[in-house]
Structures are given as C-alpha cells and as structure tokens.
Structure 1
C-alpha cells in the first residue's frame, strides 16, 4: 500500500470513537464469520449427518437472520442500543451454549431463534458510523467497515475449523456463544451513538411536554427497493462464487488449495474496499454490480489454483465496493429515525442473496461444470444490474 494516499482514512479514524468501534466491530464479527463452518463440522462429525443436513442447519440459521435483522434494527431505533441488545445477549448465550447437546431437529429450531435474535453487529456498526462521521466522509467510513468485515471473515472460519477439529465441536459452539455475549457486552460498554444529538434532544423535549413521538416508517420507494435488489444481487454472485471455487478445485483434484484461493479473493476485495474509500465521488451501485457480475462470468475458464486465483482478482476487487455503495445510498434514502431498521433490511437483502446464490450455483454445477456455476451467478448479477440501470434511466426520463 506504499504510495497510496490514506489521508481520508486517517480523518475518519480521527473522529472520536471510530477507531474503537472499528476494532470492536472486527472482533465482534469473528464469531459470526465462524458460525457456519462450526455448525457444518458439528453436524457432520459429531451428529454423524451428511453435508446436506449440515447445509440445512446453516440455511435455518440464515433464515432466522434474514427474518430478524429488520426487527432488531427497529428495536435499536426505538429503544436505544443497550436496551435493544439485552434479548440478543440472552439468546446468544442460551442458543450456542445448549446447541452441542441438542438432537438434530431441536438444533434446527434453535438456530432459527439464534439467527433471529442474534447480535445485530452489522446494523449497529454501520448505523453508528453514519452518525459519527460527516456525510462527506460516510463513503470512506463504510469502506473502512467493509475492509474490517473482510478481515473478520478471513480470521473467523479458520479459527472455527481449528477449534472444532482440534478440540471438539461442543467446545467450539460454547466458545461461539461466550464470544457473542462478550461482543454484546463490549458494544453496550462502548455504547456508540444510534441517534443524533438533535434527535435525542427532540425526543427529550417531546417527553417533557407530554407529546407522543411521531411514528416514522421506512419510505418504500423504487429507489429503496432497487438498492436492496443490488445488495442481494451482489451476494448472489459472491455466494455462488464460493461454491464454484470449491467445485473447480475439486474437479482438478486440488481441493486442498481452496483456502488459499479464497484468501486471494478476499484480499482483492479488501484492497478494492480500501481504494473505493479513497475515490472522490461515489459510484452507482448498479454499475459496480454489473462489473462484478461480468467479471465473474469468465472465471470458470481458469483451471488450477494459480490460474483461478489470478482470474478471481478483477471480480474480487469489486466485492467490497458494491456492499459499501449500497449501504451508503441506503442511508441517504431513509430518515435517521428508521436508519437502524433500514440497515437491518440491508442485512436481510445480503442474507437472502447468499441463500439464493449458493444453491443456484450448485444446481448449475450439477448440470454442467464449475465454469457453469461461475457463469450462471455472474450473468444473473449482471442482468440484475442492467435491469436496475434501465429502471433508473426510465425514472429520470419520467421526472425530466
């Protein structure tokens, strides 16, 4: 990174509280990043079930997160951070500390609850950043957050596999619960802002004068739905790429290199996030999504770890920028009073995209080859982006 002007990041990190929030965000997301792999190892090795059953458990947890994220965000908006996190602390401790001893059907039901009541770390961090930094620095702040997510997801699965395979899955699941609770306690202790000083003062004045707080809802507009569609489209491509990488390396008998290829891909995303935070102007999410999809389509033509790693770099460079751009636009589209709920919907869109992308790529691979998996999710992402760009163009013409 020598020679890269990092002044915008220094300015963001100089804002009081941002550095602490960023470090806590990285630590708090590590157990989240490890959850899927720990559940998979537990179901396959400890419960003696197949990978299909393991995928079903992970999908149940994912569904819980998708259902709970908007509600958890709304709770933060209305109740404040500390009060809203209490159910999450109880649920995270209870779910993951009992999960090792549950039979398979009970485990499925329990992880749904764990997902729905899980710690809303992503929502809280992005909501707090949107309030802590000036709007002109918001893109850089969100890019910094995307980079921190990449760091968490590079560390979390590796730690999860290490603990689950070298100790026990029971210990790994309990450690997951303890880590989640500690992360929640850390967020409560740090207590980053989830509402502006102006809104806090207005709420206090309303209570003093006996006025009811006006109810504010999320404005469901075509622009809002388009941004959520872009977020979902991005993770369709990313989740499908994950599966396709495994299939590609398995087909050449080099499955052991999966971690390295995934690490190269993640590093490209991290680098892209850093660079995106330095550009002077925001880029439209749909153009970034179109680039991500189009550059993913030909990746399957590469064979072997080295060629595949190199082929992944261009698309990987756009991963974090797409997520950053959708979060930035979304915060500008909704009033502050419902920004936490909006971030929850953003998280749900990302989760839904992940839930669609992985099986879609798997379906394509089963009926073709790994290259078909890359091409399918990449083409779908590009088509969604093209449709979004067309809708935006038509709307501008109608308003002109």
Structure 2
C-alpha cells in the first residue's frame, strides 16, 4: 500500500490537529437527530410521526442555515460564527427539556438554522491548508472521520437515552456542542490560505461561481446522500422482514467499515476519478443489494460494492467544490454543498420507506439506487457532449460544464 499521499497530507502544518479536533467535534453533532427522536418518543410519549416532524424541522433549519453561515464566515471570519452558533445551539439543547412539543418544533428549526458548522468548516479548512494537488487524500481522511463519528454518535445517543434518560441525552448533546465549539474556537483553523486573494476590492458575484458545473456537483452530492438515506431504511426493512432485526446494528457497522476502506483506497490512488462516475457506480451497485439474500450476513456482503463507494463519493465532490470556487466564497459554497447533502438525506429515507410500504423491502434499495444512478448518468452524458464540442471546435470558447473540477476528471 502506498501511504505516501497520506503522509504528505498529514505532514502539512495544521492538518493533523484539524482532523483530530473535527473528528471529536462531529460526535455530538451526529447524536442530535437520534437524541431528539428518542426524547419525543420516550419522554414526551408522542409517536414516531411527531418525532419525524421535529427532525424535519431541524433538517430544514440546517439546510437553510448552512450557506448563510458559510457566507458569514467568508465575510466576518470564523470565530464570530463559532461564538454565535455555539451559544445558540447549546441554548436550544439545554432548554429543550423545558419546551412543550409545539415550542420544541420552533426551537428545532432555529437550532438547525444556527447549527454549529463543523462539517462545512472542516471541508473549508482542508482547502485552505492543503494545496490542490494533495487534497484528494486529505478529503479522504475527512470522509473517514465523518464515518467514524457516525459510527459512534448515534449509538451513544441511543445508549444514553435507554440507560439513563432522554432528558439527560439532550443535556449531554448541549455540553458536547459547547466543547466542540470551544475546541474549534481555540484551534481557529484557517478558511483561506495565505496566498489566496481576499477579493475585497470586487466582491465575487454568485453568477461567477454558481455555474452549471457547480449546480451539477450540488445535485450529485444530494444524489449521494439520497442513496445513503434510502439504504439505511431499506436495511432495517429487509432484516425486519427476515425476523433478524437484532442484527441491524452489525450490518450497518459493516457497511460503514466498507465505506472507510473505500475512502482509504480512494486517497491512495494515483489518478483522480470523476465524482460523477463514483456517484453513478454507487447508485448502480445499490440497486441489487436487496436481492442478494435475506440473511443478515448475505445482506452485509451485498453491501460491499456500494459501501466501498460511499465515502469516496462525498470526498470527491468536496474536493471538486473546493477547486471550483474562489477562496473568498468557499464558505458559502461548502455551505450549499452541506445543504445538498442534508436535503438528500431528508429525501432518501421517506422515499425508500414509501416504496417499501407499497412493494417489498428489496425495492427500497432499487428505487433510491436508480435515482442516484440516473442523476449521475445525466451529468456524465452532459460531460461527454461537452467534450465532443471541444474536440469538434477547439478554438471556440467552451461552454460551462456541469461536472467536477478539472482535478477530479
């Protein structure tokens, strides 16, 4: 195994501390939805529909707030945003146990709107600390950190809610957010490299960077998490139908382990792979998962190809976005990508659930996988048309492509 790309990336000043701090800071963030769900169901004794509505309110807040907070980071710097979001989000989780359900819905929306932007800050800081030619292994490491945090956070939230109390879980989340915000405030990672221009004399218009190519990257980011959200639900449904629901945690852990391995391999390859191709293959490999068998071990094995592509899909799109937009608007661009990721997750689970209710569990994988593959194929076809036009008329100014940045083709 060629570990040189990882050694070179981690040897850069500030990268190791960024990876460690953001890994730990993400854990309380990955506890939030489960903690809120368990509180509404177990403590308030409402149904799962009410819990889903609370989670949806928070998701909407996150999707709307991420680009706004990113734009604020671009204009005012990181620390003011960290101070604002740490105080606001911690206050929500601290006071949530005192709120009646209708007030909790509004609080969840505001809590999501002013959510501590750990994920966006991590991606933005990687772009500031790592030269473009070395970002692929750095973003692979970042994706592996995301996987690890999602392996720990939800399990910890369930354990606390069932063994201590749902209220205590909300308080733990509040304390975790405070610690995460303080750690990031202390680290204060750069959001723009020293050599990158401030563009203070002429603010960059959205028309200059929110191009068809950027919109394409946002679309495939959403397609990626739509497939992942649908897979989560479909795994539970398949195992429940097979009366093996007790193996759900292990199967999901195996799926996450495959994703970790995929990210590790992605960071070592010598040639960049288009995120369009990775997302298309993710969708295609997800379609047949539910037809691979009804035993927990066969389902785990069927998840291998798609699992190996999960983290690389997210890493490659983040890398492409980082190289596509000017440094002065990178926070807003990363915020938009985070919104796309959030929207994809929010759509994937109910879509798979609706298909499963109308047919069978295996079709949950097929439905979300097909949508992801079709979105990827649509943009791949557009890329092929763009390249043909360039070959046919090399002296004609090329129209804007909808695909990845040049370093990821």
Give the structure-2-normalised TM-score: 0.93
How far off is 1:345 after superposition? 0.5
Please name the residue that 2:43 is paired with. 46
Counterpart of 1:209?
A: none
Q: Which residue of 1 aligns with 2:388?
A: 397
Partner of 1:106: 103
Please say if 1:357 is aligned against 2:348: yes
Q: Name the SS for the 2:195 alignment partner.
A: helix
* Corresponding position of 1:217: 205
Cα 1:199–1:389 shift into 2, 3 Å = closer
Aligned pairs for 1:84-123 (under 5 A) are: 84-123=81-120
Q: CA separation in 2, counterparts of 1:359 and 1:82?
A: 36
Say which SS state the counterpart of residue 119 (structure 1) adopts: coil
Would you say 1:308 and 2:299 are equivalent positions? Answer: yes
Matches within 5 A, 1:279-358: 279-301=269-291, 302-358=293-349
The corresponding residue for 1:274 is: 264
Partner in structure 1 of residue 403 of structure 2: none
Q: Deviations over 1:178-205 (max 9, x none)?
A: 11111111111001111221357x68xx
Answering whether residue 336 of structure 2 is matched by residue 375 of structure 1, we say no
Displacement of 1:144:
0.4
Aligned length: 388
How far apart are 1:304 and its partner, in Å?
Answer: 1.6
Shift of 1:282: 1.4
Give deviations 1:209-252, integer Å, cap 9, x for gaps: xxx64211331211111111110000110000000000001101
Of 168, 171, 177, 2:168 maps to: 171
In structure 1, what is the Cα distance between the partners aligned to 2:132 and 2:192?
15
**Would you say 1:197 and 2:194 are equivalent positions?**
yes
Counterpart CA distance in 2 for 1:80 and 1:394 is: 40
For residues 137 and 199 of structure 1, the distance between their equivalents in structure 2, rounded to whole angstroms, comes to: 16
Q: Pick from 150, 169, 185 the counterpart of residue 188 of structure 1.
A: 185
Rounded to whole Å, the distance in 1 between the matches of 2:301 and 2:161 is 31
1:74 maps onto 2:71 in alignment: yes
Select the residue among 238, 242, 246 that pairs with 1:256.
246
What is the distance in 2 between the residues matched to 1:20 and 1:196?
Answer: 16
Q: Unpaired runs of 5+ in structure 1? A: 204-211
1:233 to 223, 227, 241: 223
State how far apart, in whole Å, the 1-side matches of 2:205 and 2:143 are. Answer: 27
How many angstroms apart in 1 are the aligned matches of 2:114 and 2:148? 24
SS at 1:194's partner residue? coil
Q: Does 1:243 align with 2:243?
A: no
Instruction: Output the CA distance in 1 between the equivalents of 2:356 and 2:318.
Output: 31
Conserved 8 A contact 2:83-2:185: no
What's the C-alpha RMSD, in Å, of the aligned pairs?
A: 1.2
Residues 77 and 340 in structure 1, CA contact (< 8 A), matched pair in contact too: yes
Contact kept in structure 2, 1:75 and 1:84, CA below 8 Å: yes
Partner of 1:57: 54
Please say if residues 217 and 338 of structure 1, whose CA atoms lie closer than 8 Å, have aligned partners that are also in contact.
no
**1-side partners of 2:205 and 2:156: how far apart?**
40
Partners of 2:334 and 2:359 lie apart in 1 by 37
Per the alignment, do residues 120 and 328 of structure 1 end up closer, same or farther by CA in structure 2, a change over 3 Å counting?
Answer: same
Q: How far, CA to CA, are the matches of 1:399 and 1:344 in structure 2?
A: 32
Q: What pairs with 1:135-154 in structure 2 (closer than 5 Å)?
A: 135-154=132-151
Which of 23, 27, 31 matches 1:30? Answer: 27
Give 1:271 deviation, angstroms.
0.5
Q: Which residues of structure 2 form unaligned runs of 5+?
A: 392-409
Is contact 2:69–2:335 with CA below 8 Å preserved after alignment? yes
